[in-house]
């Protein structure tokens, strides 16, 4: 797939985006969920080797194809690794899956009810490398814990400023201001975030589009104006801690939003499984998430 083919697939095809981008801080938890305890490795390199093996197993499974999986978000080390004897972005495109890259460096401490992204001083170099490897887009995450008008405005401003830097490299930015689903004022945060993003979309440069990755709203339909906005290529939803059945049920209430799940996609996978068992479990999850994304 070339850039235009990837653009059209993400914009129009039925399916969802797999989030395979656990970073250093979340990798031990992801490995435990996969059935590998921390005593199975003693160094960071061994840990990242194990998580790469898990991701490679997912990417090369028969059920993981562009028929239902539109794209996959990668951790930087995964982008630089191989699967099926070829660079991971190439392996994905060969299967009809559009590659994205997580580019943020984690979160600042909470202030004003939100957690901003940490500085990314090497972002231009990373974007240049990602583009050369055939990556289509990027993802960057911040977190909203309280319905703070000033905090949410600051999050959105930072996200859109970095999005312009990404667009300048010919890559598609996924803007991810996650709302904590355990927040007591989650519904108010949804509305504040929607309205702040609508204002920011008016300032997107040229004829560019962006993507949005948002928590499933407390009230179905809250993000309809974002789904239909001409500057938004696609709105995808994170599972945010919901188990897969609940995440899929909540997502299905929001027409036009598609999934970009991580834990909810991987929760039934274990490293002890045979190839057939692994593919059956993965295929079942893919079918369930695809159905919820097709509403």
* Cβ(260)–Cβ(236) below 8 Å: yes
pLDDT of residue 25: 72
- Which residues are designated catalytic? 176, 213
* Cβ(264)–Cβ(242) below 8 Å: yes
Ranges in the chain, pLDDT < 50: none
User: And the tokens for 149?
Assistant: 């008008």
* Cβ(211)–Cβ(236) below 8 Å: yes
pLDDT of residue 241: 85
pLDDT of residue 145: 97
pLDDT of residue 267: 92
- Beta-carbon contacts of 53 under 8 Å, excluding residues fewer than 6 positions away, are none
Alpha-carbon span 290 to 285, nearest angstrom? 8
User: And the tokens for 25?
Assistant: 């801080």
- pTM greater than 0.85: yes
Alpha-carbon span 166 to 124, nearest angstrom? 8
- Beta-carbon contacts of 208 under 8 Å, excluding residues fewer than 6 positions away, are 167, 231
Burial tier of 273 (Cβ tally within 10 Å: 0-12, 13-18, 19+): middle
Question: What are the pLDDT digits (tens) for 186-240?
Answer: 999 999 999 999 999 999 999 999 999 999 999 999 999 999 999 999 999 999 8
- Beta-carbon contacts of 181 under 8 Å, excluding residues fewer than 6 positions away, are 215, 216, 240, 241, 242
Using only C-alpha atoms, what is the Rg of the chain? 18
Secondary structure of the chain as H, E, C letters: CCHHHHHHHHHHCCCEEEEECCCCCCHHHHHHHCCCCHHHCCCHHHHHHHHHHHHHHHHCCCCCCCCCEEEEEECHHHHHCEECCEEHHHHHHHCCCEEEEECCCCECCCECCEECECCCCCHHHHHHHHHHCCCCEEEEEEEECCCCHHHHHHHHHHHHHHHHHHHCCCCEEEEEEEECCCCCCHHHHHHHHHHHHHHHHCCCCCCCCEEEEEECCCCCCCCHHHHCCCCEEEEEEECCCCCHHHHHHHHHCCCCCEECCCHHHHCCCCCCCCHHHHHHHHHHHHHHHHHHHCC
Phi, psi of 237 (to 5 degrees): -120, 140
pLDDT of residue 24: 63
């Amino acid at each position: 797939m070339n850039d235009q083919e990837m653009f059209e697939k993400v914009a129009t095809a039925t399916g969802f985006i797999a989030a395979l981008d656990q970073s250093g801080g979340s990798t031990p938890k992801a490995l435990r969920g996969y059935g590998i305890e921390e005593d199975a490795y003693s160094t960071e390199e061994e840990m990242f080797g194990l998580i790469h093996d898990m991701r490679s197993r997912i990417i090369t499974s028969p059920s993981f194809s562009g028929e239902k999986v539109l794209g996959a978000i990668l951790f930087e080390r995964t982008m630089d690794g191989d699967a099926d004897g070829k660079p991971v972005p190439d392996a994905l495109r060969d299967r009809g899956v559009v590659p994205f890259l997580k580019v943020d460096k984690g979160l600042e401490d909470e202030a004003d009810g939100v957690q901003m992204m940490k500085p990314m001083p090497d972002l231009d170099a990373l974007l240049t490398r990602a583009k050369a490897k055939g990556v289509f887009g990027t993802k960057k995450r911040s977190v909203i814990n309280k319905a703070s008008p000033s905090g949410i405005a600051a999050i959105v401003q930072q996200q859109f400023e970095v999005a312009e830097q990404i667009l300048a490299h010919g890559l598609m930015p996924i803007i991810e201001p996650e709302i904590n689903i355990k927040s007591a004022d989650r519904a108010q945060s949804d509305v504040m975030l929607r309205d702040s993003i609508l204002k920011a979309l008016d300032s997107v440069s040229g004829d560019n589009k962006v993507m949005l990755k948002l928590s499933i709203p407390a009230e179905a339909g809250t993000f309809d104006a974002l789904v239909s906005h001409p500057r938004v290529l696609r709105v995808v939803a994170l599972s945010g801690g919901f188990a897969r059945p609940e995440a899929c049920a909540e997502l299905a209430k929001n027409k036009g939003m598609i999934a970009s799940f991580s834990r909810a996609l991987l929760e039934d996978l274990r490293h002890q499984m045979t190839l057939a068992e692994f593919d059956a479990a993965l295929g079942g999850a893919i079918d369930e998430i695809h159905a919820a994304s097709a509403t």
